Amino acid sequence: MPNPVQHISTDSINLIQSKIDDTIDNGISIRNALAEYSNSDAYDINWEVQAAVEALQVFGSRWTIEILSTLYIAGPRRFNEMKALLEGISSRTLSDKLTLLSDEGLINRTVDEGPAD
- Residue 43 is predicted with a pLDDT of 63
- Residue 90 is predicted with a pLDDT of 97
Q: Which of 29-43, 47-61, 62-76, 87-101 has the lowest mean pLDDT?
A: 29-43
Q: What is the pLDDT of residues 10-54, one digit of tens each?
A: 999 999 999 999 999 998 888 777 777 766 655 677 878 888 898
Q: Which of 59-63, 70-74, 88-92 has the lowest mean pLDDT?
A: 59-63
> In this structure, what is the dihedral angle of CA atoms 61, 81, 108, 29, given to the nearest 10 degrees?
50
How far apart are alpha carbons 104 and 101 in whole angstroms?
5
